């Protein structure tokens, strides 16, 4: 699985809180965001079932 870069606009206060959490957990901002995204995907898949490769290839609506 390759990596890609994307830019996100975020409220400054939320970013400061994210940085606080990352530092608390001894992670970089990037590592913390990746952890949070993986956690969110896992929760989604627990509730809705796994996202398959076929799902990822489906055209977006």
Question: pLDDT at position 8, please?
Answer: 94
pLDDT tens by residue, 1-59: 689 999 999 999 999 999 999 999 999 999 999 999 999 999 999 999 999 999 999 77
- Token readout for 13 is 């206060």
pTM: 0.81
Question: pLDDT at position 61, please?
Answer: 60
Q: Residues 33, 15: contact at Cβ < 8 Å?
A: no
- Token readout for 36 is 């949070």
Question: pLDDT at position 1, please?
Answer: 67
Helix 29-48 × helix 12-24 angle, to 10°:
90
């Amino acid at each position: 699985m390759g990596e890609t870069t994307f830019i996100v606009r975020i409220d400054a206060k939320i970013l400061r809180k994210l940085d606080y959490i990352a530092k608390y957990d001894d992670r970089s901002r990037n590592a913390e965001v990746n952890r949070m995204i993986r956690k969110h995907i896992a929760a989604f898949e627990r509730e809705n079932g796994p996202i398959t490769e076929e799902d990822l290839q489906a055209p977006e609506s």
